[in-house]
Chain A
């Protein structure tokens, strides 16, 4: 009897143990399923929320860019959530979301991070209004203006320095390039900026040393050569990149051009704000395309005015422009050959002065103006 009871008790104990084990296995599996389910939901939700925030930021940035584009001559400080945006010639990227810049002419560094964005808008007239250029930066990027030692005439740089927005993060006193360890240039200290851009005005190409306290920091540079002493060549630009203790030439990826030239002040400012030479040249090309189209509009307008004002003093001025200078009527050349940015191209200067003269004369004779 006691043996049978003992066996029964043993079997019952074993069954209880098996049940407890089964319960624990069941709890573990069910727990793992529940945790897994919630983990997937959280991960998916996080990714979706990040994409949604990026999309919202991209859209807001687009609104900011459109708004800034139409208000020329303004410098805006726009507070944003903490973000990082990358700019190329045709697109900008916030996280995984990208948006086309389309025909917007935007000069910006390759990457902007922080909680604020600064936009500066300038009209580009050549000689008629072609477009509004949009320059983008933020307070985390500092601009340091430096003149090369031998340079005597500082008027160009002073004019450049004063024409830039007051609120731009930069040094107001122009430094003189000097490699002496005690010099003001060599002892320059970084502030809270994340990127420092050194802008050198010079007549000779050279490889500038980075001030020692900037070693290991994010630094880029630009050489501006209004007149290149060696060849007399004008308006040259050399983009520089950080190479340890000095700034070396950052070559164009696009091998079509061996040099980069600016056309006027608005295009020079573009080079100051852009850090990538390829993006800069591509943006200039967009500006040229807009100039071609605008030239066609002015050309068509002039053709209509010529028909309306036939045999008048005004039509003679339009005609004289066409006879004396085949490119006098804007757009005539543009119609034949679509111009793109070309560092050798100096046609714009002739165009601008020729059209300015015609427009001034039209104004003197009280004729409808070209622009």
Chain B
């Protein structure tokens, strides 16, 4: 009788052990999936952040061409960008709040010309850097001509 009870008790313990083992295996599996999903979320967040940054930069009033306050779409004022080189340095903290660790470059493609850097906050060390290129027209008020250019935004992570 005693032996039978001991055997029954042992069986119950074994069942519980297997049950908890399966539970642990299930949990490990769930955590792994969750970690992968978090990784995917982070990567998605970075992509969204890059798009938001490109949008923010492309529509900064500090860059846009205007004529009596009428904004020309996809047009950057060359002299405003040149001015921004100085202003963004003097007001680095202000721009850093919105833009963070990024590098903005405006490259003159045709006619070929210098590359202007209106904002530079490249960190000393970084693990990832992604780039976005946006074609723009750059207006030169001196020659009254439009230059074909590319707005290059490098985001550091």
Contact = CB atoms under 8 A, between A and B. Distances in A.
Interface stretch (A250-258, A296-304, A316-324): A296-304
B55 A66 contact: yes
Contacts of B5: 19
B80 to A, nearest CB: 5
A229 interface: no
B128 interface: no
A296 B125 CA distance: 31
A300 B69 contact: no
B61 A301 contact: no
Contacts of A88: none
A359 interface: yes
B98 to A, nearest CB: 5
Contact of A369 (B1, B52, B67, B86): B67
Interface string A97-123: 000101110000000000000000001
Contacts of A70: 55-56, 58-59
Contact of B90 (A12, A296, A359): A296
A117 B71 CA distance: 27
B16 interface: yes
Interface string A50-94: 000000000100110011011000000000000000000000000
B68 A102 contact: no
Q: At the interface, is chain A mostly helix, strand, loop or mixed?
A: helix
Given A26-B12, A59-B45, A296-B90, A128 B97 contact: no
Contacts of A66: 52, 55-56
Nearest to B48: A63
A156 interface: no
Interface in B68-94: 68-69, 71, 77, 79-80, 82-84, 86-87, 90-91, 94
Interface in A23-47: 26, 30, 37
Task: Bin the interface of chain B by size.
Answer: 35 or more
Contact of B68 (A63, A363, A368): A363
B77 A301 contact: yes
A297 B80 contact: yes
B141 interface: yes
A48 to B, nearest CB: 9
A125 B64 CA distance: 13
B62 interface: yes
A294 B91 CA distance: 11
Contacts of B68: 359, 363, 369, 371
B69 A125 contact: yes
B142 interface: yes
A102 B98 contact: yes
A30 B12 CA distance: 10
A1 interface: no
Contacts of B12: 26
A308 B62 contact: no
B34 to A, nearest CB: 9
A368 B25 CA distance: 72
A266 interface: no
Nearest to B9: A26
Contact of A296 (B52, B82, B87): B87
A98 to B, nearest CB: 15
A-B residue pairs, 4 tightest by C-beta: A300-B83, A368-B141, A70-B59, A102-B97
Interface of A: 12, 15, 19, 26, 30, 37, 59, 62-63, 66-67, 69-70, 100, 102-104, 123, 125, 127-132, 289, 293-294, 296-301, 304-305, 308-309, 359, 363, 368-369, 371
7 contacts: A26-B9, A128-B61, A293-B87, A297-B80, A300-B84, A308-B142, A369-B68
Given A66-B52, A127-B69, A293-B91, 17 more contacts: A30-B16, A62-B52, A67-B55, A70-B56, A100-B97, A103-B94, A103-B97, A128-B66, A131-B61, A294-B61, A294-B62, A297-B83, A304-B82, A308-B142, A368-B142, A369-B68, A371-B69
